[in-house]
Structure 1
Amino acid sequence: MTDKRLLYRVILKLMAAAGIIALLMVFLNATFNSGGDIDEVSPVISSEVVYLKLANVEEGKVTTVIWENKRVGVIKRSSQTQLGLMQQSSKAPEASIIDLESHPWRSIDATYFVYYDKGDSGYCPLFFERENFKDTCSGIRYDLTGRQDGGTKTLGVPPYHFSNTGELAVGRWTADY
Structure 2
Amino acid sequence: MKAQTVLATAVLGVGLGTLLLPGAALADTTVSPATTPVGGTVVLTATTCDPQSGDAIFRVTGPNRDQNVRSTTAAAGGGLSAELFTAGFTLGTYTVTATCGDGSPAGSATFTVTPIGGAQAGSGTTTDPTGSVAAGAALLGSATAGALILARRRRHAATAATA
TM-score between both structures, scaled by the size of structure 1: 0.26
**Greater relative contact order structure (CA < 8 Å, 6+ sep):** 2
Structure number with the higher strand fraction is 2
Say which structure is richer in helix. Answer: 2
